[in-house]
Amino acid sequence: MTPTGGPLEAPPPAAEPALSGAVALANRVRDRGLTEVRKAVVGQDEPLELMLCGLIAGGHVLLEGVPGVAKTLMARAIARSVSAEFKRIQFTPDLMPADILGTSVFDLKSQSFVLVRGPIFTDLLLADEINRAPAKTQSALLEAMQERSVSLEGKNIALSPFFTVFATQNPVESEGTYPLPEAQLDRFLFKIEVGYPGDADEEAMLKAVNQGFDSGDLARAGVTPVISRDELMQARHAMAEVTIEPAVLSYVRQLVAGTRKSPRIRLGAGPRASVHLLMASKAIAALRGRGFVTPDDVRSLVGPVLKHRLLLSPDAELDGATPGDVLAEVVKSIEVPR
């Protein structure tokens, strides 16, 4: 009873936990980045958000799709929205590792060899049509992607703390492509499948082109740097302030471990995939303005994080199953935490 003898009043609803400054900043980075990139890219919001997520999580992103669906444009637009150094490598069958990493050149003036650094020494690297180069050249990226350093002329040279690879590739069935080695695929945080735009989005794109839009001139389209290096680093720090309940953390482990137990999967995802799924879930929560990870965050990222790491069993391949089909079966078999 209350002091006046009336009925007990219901307690006020629990307040939402206050966002930390870093998480709020990460949310602003997402909103500003998407708004800026939409000036050049129409109808690809989900891939664009995943690319920003990879940038915040410190992971590399592989974009796969048929030619002409704006894979390269998305990478260029994201890079332009960030105040960071950007370089591009066009992968071709005759590209050599030295074209990526650099090499020593004899300087006539100093009468000595001088190390000329390759385009890998940058913040954001666009590896365009990465699967058109042979495996030897593709593997030149392996150490850089994992260790963020390069071994040249017997020296270990550190790369930028912001070093991120945005790679594009055509489907492996396309003529003149080489499949990426499994070890290199495992270095990518996400593999994002970029599809055709919807009818309304494609029509909006045509109207923009008719009015003078040129995808080769992002400055004219109004895409400008709206995310500073300091803001990008602070947004990365926000991940440390995103919490995850033990049940949701266990859910991450169970999803990845489930790919190793499925009889329809010959090679499941390894521990690096568990780490990537955890870090991506924390990054997407921060970008969406939440200080905690939900099971929905994890489930939404299972495909982009895991599909490219799986090798199906011969029986599953004979049945015409895809990694996405089998992964959906694994996800369905694991109870979602409440």
pLDDT of residue 292: 96
> Residue 119 domain-assigned?
yes
Residue 81 clears pLDDT 80, i.e. is over it: yes
Residues 198 and 279 in one domain: no
Residues 257 and 137 in one domain: no
Higher per-residue confidence, 181 vs 267: 267
Tokens coding 238: 């926000």
Residues 116 and 258 in one domain: no
Among 229, 264, 298, give the residue marking a domain's end. 229
> Residue 5 domain-assigned?
no
Residues 281 and 166 in one domain: no
Residue 114 clears pLDDT 90, i.e. is over it: no
pLDDT of residue 167: 93
pLDDT of residue 15: 44
Residues 208 and 320 in one domain: no
Residues 195 and 305 in one domain: no
Pair 39, 142: CB distance under 8 Å: no
pLDDT of residue 107: 76
How much is the average pLDDT of 88-100? 91
Say how many domains are in the chain: 2
Tokens coding 313: 């069993």
CATH number of the domain encompassing residue 149: 3.40.50.300
Among 197, 229, 261, give the residue marking a domain's end. 229
pLDDT band for position 6 (cuts 50, 70, 90): very low
Quick one: three-class SS letters along the chain? CCCCCCCCCCCCCCCCCCCCHHHHHHHHHHHHHHHHHCCCCCCCHHHHHHHHHHHHHCCEEEEECCCCCCHHHHHHHHHHHECCCEEEEECCCCCCHHHHHEEEEEECCCCEEEEEECCCCCCEEEEECHHHCCHHHHHHHHHHHHHCEEEECCEEEECCCCCEEEEEECCCCCCCCCCCCHHHHCCEEEEEECCCCCHHHHHHHHHHHHCCCCCCCHHHHCCCCCECHHHHHHHHHHHHHCECCHHHHHHHHHHHHHHHHCCCEEECCCHHHHHHHHHHHHHHHHHCCCCECCHHHHHHHHHHHHHHHCEECHHHHHCCCCHHHHHHHHHHCCCCCC
Residues 115 and 167 in one domain: yes
pTM: 0.88
pLDDT of residue 231: 93
Residues 248 and 221 in one domain: no
- Specify the range with the lowest mean pLDDT, choosing from 73-77, 171-175, 291-295: 171-175
> Residue 234 domain-assigned?
no
Q: What is the mean pLDDT of the chain?
A: 88
Q: Which domain holds residue 262?
A: 242-338
pLDDT of residue 260: 95
Tokens coding 37: 């990139």
How much is the average pLDDT of 224-240? 93
Sequence-ordered list of residues with C-beta below 8 angstroms from that of 228, at least 6 positions apart, any chain: 83
The pLDDT tens digits of the residues spanning 247-276 come to: 999 999 999 999 999 999 999 999 999 999
Residues 192 and 111 in one domain: yes
Residues 256 and 290 in one domain: yes
Residues 164 and 225 in one domain: yes
Strand 124-128 relative to strand 86-90, pairing = parallel
Pair 100, 119: CB distance under 8 Å: yes
How much is the average pLDDT of 27-39? 94
Residue with tokens 């005759």: 94
Residue 188 β-bridge partners: 60
Instruction: Please choose, from the candidates 302, 293, 294, 297, the residue with its C-alpha nearest in 3D space to the C-alpha of residue 332.
Output: 302
pLDDT of residue 172: 65
The pLDDT tens digits of the residues spanning 317-332 come to: 999 999 999 999 999 9
pLDDT band for position 3 (cuts 50, 70, 90): very low
pLDDT band for position 19 (cuts 50, 70, 90): low
pLDDT band for position 190 (cuts 50, 70, 90): very high
> Residue 28 domain-assigned?
no
How much is the average pLDDT of 145-157? 85
Residues 151 and 179 in one domain: yes
pLDDT of residue 137: 84
> Residue 23 domain-assigned?
no
How much is the average pLDDT of 236-250? 95
Percent of the chain with pLDDT over 90: 64
Among 205, 229, 253, give the residue marking a domain's end. 229
Percent of the chain with pLDDT over 70: 93
pLDDT band for position 135 (cuts 50, 70, 90): confident
CATH number of the domain encompassing residue 247: 1.10.8.80
- Specify the range with the lowest mean pLDDT, choosing from 49-53, 85-89, 105-109, 164-168: 105-109
Phi then psi for 126, rounded to 5 degrees? -95, 110
How much is the average pLDDT of 109-125? 86
